[in-house]
Amino acid sequence: MTEDWLEDLLDRHPGEPVPEGFSRRLRARIEADQHPAPILRPSFGAWLGRGVAAALLLAVGFWLGRDQPELTLDPVDPNLEALTVGGSPVDADLLAELYQEQELLKAWDLVVGQDLELGLRDATTGTWELTEESDG
């Protein structure tokens, strides 16, 4: 060991061997960097071609279906007979009113049932007690 032993110790580091094939791999990377794969961008011509093809397809479809019956139906059948009761036609507003009242009656039944159930409970436990009102 010399006087400056640190330099001698540092000299013991052998360095780093260059891996085999490094130059080849580097060259491949440089090639890839310099000539990157082309990015595919659809050109105007390609889009125009697709548009023409779609239009042709649509035209052929119309031509093939030109003598076929209509697939749609009229929203209201003109031959449908009006609803009658006893020979006279029933007003639509009257029918709607009847249905509305029927719904109201059903709701009333439900409320009455709940009230009766509450009335059967014990007053001391904090529930309602059924009371009877007399007319005098």
Partner 1 sequence: MELMLAFQAGEEAAFDEIVELHSGQVFGLLRRLLGPHAAVEDLAQESFLRLYRARERYQPRGKLSTFLYRIVYNLALNRLRDGKRRREVGMPSTADGERIDLEDAGGEAPWEEPDRRTWARRIEEALECLPENQRAALVLQHYDGLDLEQIGEVLGISAKATKSLLHRARTKLREILTPYREAEHD
Q: Which residues bind partner 1 (CB under 8 A)?
A: 1, 5-7, 9-10, 12-19, 22-23, 25-27, 29-30, 33
Is the CB of 20 or the CB of 74 nearer to partner 1? 20
- Between residues 10 and 82, which has the closer beta carbon with respect to partner 1? 10
Q: Which amino acid is at 73?
A: L
CB of 34 to partner 1, least distance (A): 8
Q: What is the CA radius of gyration of the chain?
A: 47
- C-alpha 119/C-alpha 79 separation (Å) is 56
CB 129 within 8 A of CB 123: yes
- Tracing tokens 């709701």 back to the chain, one arrives at 107
Distance of closest approach, residue 38 Cβ to partner 1, in angstroms: 20
Q: Judged by CB, which is closer to partner 1: 6, or 94?
A: 6
Which amino acid makes up residue 134?
S
Q: Which residues of 11-20 are buried (b: 16+ CB within 10 A; e: fewer)?
A: eeeeeeeeee
Report the nearest approach of partner 1 to the CB of residue 1 (Å).
8
- Give the shortest CB-37-to-partner 1 separation in angstroms: 17
